[in-house]
Chain A
Amino acid sequence: MKRLLVLGVVMVLALAGTAAAADTVRVGVYLPLTGQMAYGGQLELEGIQMAYKEMPEILGQKVELFVVDNKSDKVESANAVKRLIDKEKVVAIIGTYGSSLAMAGGEVAEKSAIPMVGTSCTNPLVTQGKKYIFRVCFIDPFQGAGAATYAFKELGFKKAALLVDVANDYSVGLASFFQKSFAKQGGEVVANLKYQSGDQDFTAQLTEIISKKPDVMFIPSYFAEGAIIMKQAQELGAQFRIMGGDAMDNPKIVEIGGAAVEGFVHTTFPYDPSMKDMSPMAQKFTDNWNKTYPGKEPNVNAALGYDTYMLVLDAIKRAGKADPAAITTALAATKGFEGVTGATTINATHDAEKPVGLVLIKGGKKTYVGSITPEL
C-alpha cells in the first residue's frame, strides 16, 4: 500500500513536471563546479546567472535554467549532457569550461541533435565536424601562437620550455601550437616536459627544465595546477619568466600565487576588469557585476558565461521558437552579436573570431597589456 502511494506521488509529480515544461524555455548548463577546474567553472556559472537575472524571459516565455556539475571529469560531462537532454528536455545547452569536457559532452549533444554553445573550450577539435556544437571563444592555434609571438617579438625571448598536462586536450593543443609558432619565428624549444592532471609534485620536471636554462616557460595548464607549478618553480630558484593560456585567468591568482606569480603573462579573451578603454557593453557588465557580486572581481570567464547565455537567447529570438533545429540554424547565422568580449561572428567552423588579449601580473595586480595579432 505504502509503495503504491509513493508510486502515485511520483507519477503526479512527473505529470506536473511535463505540464510546466510546456510554457517555459528550458536551457541546460553543464560546468565544472567541483574538481580541478572549479575555479573557472564557478565564475562562468556566476556570469550565466547574472545574465539570466537580466533577461529571464524570451518570446514571452519564462526561461528555466538547469545546472549540472560535470565535476571536471570527462565521463561526468557526457552523463551531465545526457541528463540535460533525456531528463530535463532542454532545447539548448550552455557549456562547458574545459576542452576535454566539452568534447565528451559535445559528442552526446551532437547525437541527440541539441545545440550546444561552448563558453571557453578552446581546442579546435571541440567543434570540428560537428553540426550542433558552437562556441563564443577563439581557438588554440590562435592563442598558442599569440603567446609565442608575444614571447618572441615583444619580450625578445629566444629559448622556451614547455610543461604540458598530457591528459588534457586543451593543454596538449596549446603547447603544440605555441611550439610551432615559436620555432617558425626562429626561437628554440629547449625542453618539453609532461605531467598528468591532478599531479601536485612538479619538482622533478622543474629541476630538469631549470637545468636547460630557458628564457621563458610556457605552462598551458589550469589554474589549480598552474599556481602550484609557479610556487614550486620559485622554490627551486627558477630565473625564467612564465607564461600561460586563458585557463590561468583568475581574479585569485595573486592571492593564491603570492610572489611566485609576479611577472607572469597569460593570453586571454579581450576582457579584463583592468582594461583601460572598455566597450560600453564591457563597462555595463563590470558595473552590474560589482553590484550583483560585491567584493568579488569579475574575470573573462564570467564575461564569457554571460555572453554565451545572451547569445543563446538571441538565437532563440531570431529562431522565433524554442525548437532545437531552429536554434541551431540561428546560431550558425550569428553575425556581429555584441558581447562583453567583443563582437561575435560564428564562422564556418562554428568558432568565434576574436583578438588575443594579454594580461601581466605586475606589482601584485592583474594588468591588461593589450591585444596581439598572432604569427600562425
Chain B
Amino acid sequence: MSLAMFLQHGLNGLTLGSLYALIAIGYTMVYGILRLINFAHSEIFMLGAYFVLWGTTLFFLPWYVAMVVAVVVTAGVGILVDRVAYRPLRDAPRISALISAIGVSFFLQNLTIVAFGAIPREVYRPLWLETPMLMGEVRVLPLTIFVPTLSFLLMLGLVWVVYRTKAGLGMRAISKDIETSYIMGVSVNRIISLTFGIGSALAAASGIMWALRYPQLQPVMGSIPGFKAFIAAVFGGIGSIPGAVVGGVILGFTEIMAVAFFPDLAGYRDAFAFVLLIAILLIKPTGLMGAKLEDKV
C-alpha cells in the first residue's frame, strides 16, 4: 500500500470515527446518569438530519440557519422523550425504561415515515463542502477536515460543561448517587433534562454531518450508525465521555483499515467491530476507560 493510499484511508477513518464518537457521547451521558441505554438515540440522530430538510424545504431557511434550528429543536425532542417516556418510569425497574426506550425508537421511526415518507431523500450540500482539495495524491474534502474539527470542538465544550460548571457538577453528583443528590438539593429532573438536551443536540449535530458526508436521508438511517456508536461507547467504557470519543475514533479507524488491509474480507466489515468489542470486553470488562469510577458522567 502506498503512503498516499494509507493517508487517504486514514482520513476516511478519522471522519467516520469522529461521527461515531459524537453519537456515542449521547449514549454514554445518559447511561452514566440513569444507567439507561437510550435506544431512541439513533432516531434522535436521524431526526436531526430530517429537521434540516424540513427547515430548508418547508420554511425556506438558509441551510446554515436550518442546521442551528435543527440542533435546537432536536435537543427539545430529546428532552420531551425523557419527560414523556422515561421520567414516569424513574422509580420503576430498569428494564421498564429500557423497553420504553425501544418503544420510543419504533415510534419516532414510524412517525418519520408518516411525516416525510419512506423514500430516501436527497440532501442539499453547499458546493464548497464537496469540492475536493488535492494534497499530493490524497484527495481531501473540506468535509473531512470540517467534521473531525467540529466534533473535537463540541467534545471540548462538553468536557468544560461537565467539569467546570455547576450543572456539570450536578451531573457528576447524580451519576454517583441519585437519591443522595435529591437530598443535597440538586434539582435532579432539571439536570437530567439538560443531559438529554445536550446528548440530543450532539446527536443532531452528528446526524447533520452524517447527512453531509453520506448525502441521503431515510427514516431508518439511524439504526446502523446508532448501533456502531453504541458499540463504540461500550468499547470505550460506557459512562465515560473520553471513553466514548476514543472508542468511536478507534472503531472508525478499525472499520476502514480492516477493509484497506484485507480487501477480500470487506464484506465482514461489521463483524470486525464486534470482534474488537468482544476482545476488549474479555480483557477489560469495563471497557477501555470505564474502570475509573470518577469518570462516570
Show the binding face of A for B, using Cβ within 8 Å.
33-36, 38-39, 42, 164, 166-167, 191-196, 198-201, 203-205, 207-208, 211, 224, 227-228, 231-232, 235-237, 255-256
Contact = CB atoms under 8 A, between A and B. Distances in A.
Nearest to A43: B119
Contact of B263 (A33, A191, A198): A191
Given A207-B8, A208-B263, A196 B270 contact: yes
Nearest to B225: A200
Contact of B12 (A164, A167, A203): A203
Contact of A193 (B5, B132, B219, B266): B266
Count chain B CB atoms within 10 A of each CB in A35, A200, A255 and give the residue with the most.
A200
Main secondary structure of the interface of B (DSSP, over half): helix
6 tightest A-B CB contacts, nearest first? A194-B267, A204-B259, A34-B118, A166-B267, A203-B12, A200-B214
Interface in B106-153: 113, 118-120, 122, 130, 132, 139, 141
Interface string B1-39: 010010011001100100000000000000000000000
B256 interface: yes
A228 B224 CA distance: 16
B122 A42 contact: no
Interface of B: 2, 5, 8-9, 12-13, 16, 113, 118-120, 122, 130, 132, 139, 141, 210, 213-216, 218-221, 223-225, 255-260, 263-267, 269-270
A193 B258 CA distance: 12
Contact of B119 (A38, A199, A207, A235): A38
Given A194-B266, A200-B224, A207-B9, A39 B214 contact: no
A351 B91 CA distance: 60
Nearest to A212: B263
Contacts of B122: 255-256
Given A34-B113, A200-B224, A195 B118 contact: no
B57 to A, nearest CB: 13
22 contacts: A36-B218, A42-B118, A164-B267, A194-B265, A196-B267, A203-B16, A204-B9, A204-B12, A204-B257, A205-B259, A205-B263, A207-B9, A208-B260, A208-B266, A224-B120, A224-B216, A227-B120, A228-B214, A228-B216, A237-B132, A237-B139, A256-B216
A240 to B, nearest CB: 15
Given A38-B119, A42-B119, 18 more contacts: A35-B218, A36-B220, A38-B118, A38-B218, A193-B259, A193-B266, A194-B265, A195-B267, A196-B267, A203-B9, A203-B256, A204-B9, A204-B256, A204-B260, A207-B8, A224-B216, A232-B214, A256-B216
Contacts of B210: 200
B182 to A, nearest CB: 42
A258 to B, nearest CB: 8
A193 B118 CA distance: 29
A208 B263 CA distance: 7
A246 B210 CA distance: 28
A228 B123 CA distance: 11
A201 B9 CA distance: 12
A226 to B, nearest CB: 11
A207 B260 contact: yes
A176 to B, nearest CB: 14
Nearest to B221: A200
Nearest to A192: B264
Contacts of B216: 200, 224, 227-228, 256
B25 to A, nearest CB: 20
A194 B267 CA distance: 5
A36 B220 CA distance: 9
Given A34-B113, A34-B118, A207-B260, A224 B267 contact: no
A307 to B, nearest CB: 22
Nearest to A33: B118
A235 B280 CA distance: 35
Contacts of A35: 118, 218, 220
B259 A39 contact: no
Contacts of A207: 5, 8-9, 12, 260
A166 B270 CA distance: 12
Given A198-B224, A227-B216, A256-B122, A205 B266 contact: yes
Nearest to B215: A231
A199 B16 CA distance: 12
B120 A38 contact: yes
Contact of A224 (B213, B218, B259): B218
Given A203-B12, A208-B260, A255-B122, A195 B269 contact: yes
A88 to B, nearest CB: 22
B222 to A, nearest CB: 11
B269 A199 contact: yes
Contacts of B263: 191, 193, 205, 208
Given A207-B5, A208-B259, A39 B139 contact: no
A198 to B, nearest CB: 5
Contacts of B130: 235
Contacts of A237: 132, 139
Nearest to B118: A34
A33 B120 CA distance: 11
A228 B215 contact: yes
A143 B101 CA distance: 45
B147 to A, nearest CB: 12
A201 B141 contact: no
A12 to B, nearest CB: 30
A256 B259 CA distance: 27
Nearest to B260: A204
Contacts of A228: 214-216
Contacts of A199: 224, 269-270
Contacts of B113: 34
Count chain B CB atoms within 10 A of each CB in A191, A192, A198 and give the residue with the most.
A198
